[in-house]
Amino acid sequence: MSDNDVIEKHIDVNDADSSTVELLSNATNLSKQIIKQAMAKGAVWLSRGKHTQRLRRANRKLNAGDTLHLYYNARLLATKPPEALLIADEGDYSVWYKPYGLLSQGSKWSDHCTITRWAVQHLQPERPAFIVHRLDRAATGLILVAHTKKATTLLTGLFQQRKITKIYEAIVQGHFPSSPEIFTVNTPINEKTAISHIRLLKYSPKRNCSLVSIEIETGRKHQIRKHLSEAGFPILGDRLYSEQQDFETDLQLTAVSLCFTCPITNKPRHYELDSKLHPQL
């Protein structure tokens, strides 16, 4: 086996006394220890009836008729997640600083490099974790993680109803205009409404770059990156929407503020990222 190995296996369970680890080890020639590590990192799934979910516990009892799924990618599973920073623990949900490279959502191949898995493994007391909204892998900043299904539903509802004020900061190429004070881009994305309000904070003649503040009313995929590029001011380090490829600079886009009324306590909540974690012009 090498670091580049990718294995996908789907195994029908015929015997209720079967062991998940043994079945997968026999089918792949991977050691039982490696199988257990892959399970812990979210690479193994169990289908039972119409339901399929990740299987982490090696001693989970199987039923005849179950199907095991292994999505093994040695290089991916060897990836070490960057460290998230806890900003606030509100019990039913928590607020984190998501660093560059940490994922909002996992895949069938693993979830050990996601903010939700990080929260499960580092919060005390330990709680389940559910994604509420997303930040691009390359973006940094504040992100909410829910810890109950009720909180997930309520917080997701706030985002859908546009009742959460989200402020981002970015460093863009060029001299962003100071007039009008609020520059609005409302070009639809994938035929859906997308609205971004952008304001100049500071310009650096030496770098010919601008620090801007962005408030979004909607949360479409890559909305800020697309809108700024469309306006002629691509974000520094954006390898998707900038013609000037800079492979040494990370994407300079950070979610710096979240403001909303807590749907559980009805109290106002305002989370502001420490200035040292903002993009530095």
Query: What secondary structure, in 3-state letters, does 27-78 show?
Result: HHCCCHHHHHHHHHCCCEEEEECCEEEECCCCCCCCCCCCEEEEEEEHHHHC
Residue 244 has pLDDT above 80, yes or no: no
For position 219, what pLDDT does the model report? 87
Report d(CA 247, CA 138) in Å as an integer: 12
Mean pLDDT (the chain) is 95
For position 245, what pLDDT does the model report? 67
Residue 1 has pLDDT above 70, yes or no: no
For position 3, what pLDDT does the model report? 47
33-65 tens-digit pLDDT: 999 999 999 999 999 999 999 999 999 999 999
Residues of the chain with CATH 3.30.2350.10: 85-160, 165-277
213-234 tens-digit pLDDT: 999 998 899 999 999 999 999 9
170-183 tens-digit pLDDT: 999 999 999 999 99
Among 66, 136, 238, 274, which one carries the catalytic annotation? Answer: 136
Query: Both tokens of residue 170?
Result: 């970015």
Whole-angstrom CA distances from 141 to 57, 63, 96, 253 are 32, 43, 8, 8
If you average pLDDT over residues 121-137, what whole number do you get?
Answer: 96
Report d(CA 16, CA 135) in Å as an integer: 41
Confirm or reject CATH 3.30.2350.10 for domain 165-277, answering yes or no: yes
Give the class (CATH, top level) of 6-77.
alpha beta
For position 242, what pLDDT does the model report? 87
For position 248, what pLDDT does the model report? 76
Residues of the chain with CATH 3.10.290.10: 6-77
Residue 4 has pLDDT above 90, yes or no: no
Could you say which architecture CATH assigns to the domain 85-160?
Answer: 2-Layer Sandwich (3.30)
Active site residue 136: yes
The answer to whether the CB of 235 falls within 8 A of the CB of 196 is: no
